[in-house]
Amino acid sequence: MKHLIDPKIDCVFKALLGAEENRNLLVHFLNAVLALELKAPLADVEILNPYNEREFAHDKLSIVDVKARDSEGQLFQIEIQLVQYAQLVSRILYSWADIYSQQLQSGESYNKVKPTYSIWLLDDTLIATDQDYVRSYKMRDARGQTLFDHGGIWLFEIKKFHAQKVGSEEQRWLRFLKEGHQLDDILLPDWMFTKEMEQAMSTLKKFSDKERDYHEYQARQNYLRQQQAIQQELESAVTRTDQAHMETERALLETRNAIEAKERAMEETQRAMAERENALKERQDAFAEIARLKALLEHAGQIP
C-alpha cells in the first residue's frame, strides 16, 4: 500500500462494515462479537444505512454508525468512538433505547418488538477500574433474570485488548482494529491470513492507493484530531473552572470560619466582661452590705 490506513477512522470503518460489497464482513463481525449471545449464527443481514462516500464530502459528520437487520427482524448497531467525553455513557444508553423504541409504528402490537444489539468499539478507556476489555449490559432483575430477550449493549475498549495470540474471531477483529494502522498488505502477520481479513485489508488498500479516497481519509483523520483536541481543551477548561470554583468555595469557607471564630471570640469577650461586671457588682453589693451591717452595729452600740 502507498499509505498506512487506520480502520478506526470513521469513513474507513463504515466502508469496512457498512458497504454493501462488504456485507459478508458485517455478518462475520456480528457472529464473532455476539457468538455467545445469538441463538444461531447470522446468515445474512440488511444494512439499513449503507456507506455512501458523499456522506464524508464536507467533514461534517463526527459520529458514524452501522445499522442492520436480520431475517428475524433483530436490530444491530455498531459504532466506533475515538473520543471519550462526560456524556458518552448517556449517549450509549439513549442510542440503544432510541433504536429499540422505533421498531413500532402507530397502532402496531408489542409482539413485533425484536431484540436490539448495540455494539460500541471505544478507542479510549471508559471504565478505568479494571482491565476487562469487553462488557455486556442487559436488563435484568437483582437475581440476574430477565423477562424476555431484548438484546443489550456491548462495550469493547480497544486499548485494553492485549492478546498476543488470536484465539477467536472476536479477538482477530479487535486486533485488526487496534493494529490496523500498522499493517501493510505486503507483510501481513499470520493472524491476518483469513479471507475476511484479506477482504478487510483490500478496503484499507482502496483508501491507501486511490488519491481521492486517501485525501478523504486524511481529511477525516484531521477533522477527528481537531475534534479530539477541542474536546480535550473543553475538558481542561471545565477542570480549570471546577478547580477555580473549589478554590472560591474553600476561600468562602475559610472566610466564614474566620468570621464565626471572630464572633465566638467577641461573644467570649462579652461574656467575660459581663462576668467581670457581675463580680464587680457583687463586690460592691458585699461592701455595701458590710457598710450597712457596720452602721447597724455602731447604731446599736450607741443605744443605752
Average pLDDT across each block of 10 residues of the chain; the chain has 304 residues. List them in order: 86 92 97 95 95 62 80 95 86 94 83 94 89 92 88 96 91 96 90 96 87 64 66 73 84 88 89 89 87 82 66
271, three cell numbers: 461574656
Residue 52 lies in a domain: yes
Where is 67: in which H helix or E strand? strand 65-70
How confident is the model at residue 136, as a pLDDT? 94
Domain count for the chain, please give it.
1
CB 104 within 8 A of CB 62: no
Distance of alpha carbon 76 from its chain centroid, rounded? 21
165: containing domain: 10-209
Residue 286 lies in a domain: no
How many angstroms separate the CA atoms of 25 and 7, rounded?
A: 13
214, three cell numbers: 486517501
Residue 270 lies in a domain: no
Distance of alpha carbon 113 from its chain centroid, rounded? 28
Using DSSP's 3-state secondary structure scheme, residue 32 falls into helix
Residue 33 lies in a domain: yes
Residue 4 lies in a domain: no
Whole-prediction pTM: 0.72
How confident is the model at residue 151, as a pLDDT? 95
User: What is the crossing angle of helices 23-33 and 10-18, to 10°?
Assistant: 90
How many angstroms separate the CA atoms of 294 and 288, rounded?
A: 10
How confident is the model at residue 25, as a pLDDT? 98
Residue 21 lies in a domain: yes
How confident is the model at residue 133, as a pLDDT? 94
How confident is the model at residue 170, as a pLDDT? 97
How many angstroms separate the CA atoms of 8 and 19, rounded?
A: 15
Residue 282 lies in a domain: no
How many angstroms separate the CA atoms of 178 and 136, rounded?
A: 20
How many angstroms separate the CA atoms of 181 and 232, rounded?
A: 23
CB 147 within 8 A of CB 131: no
Residue 291 lies in a domain: no
How confident is the model at residue 299, as a pLDDT? 79
What single DSSP character describes residue 304? -
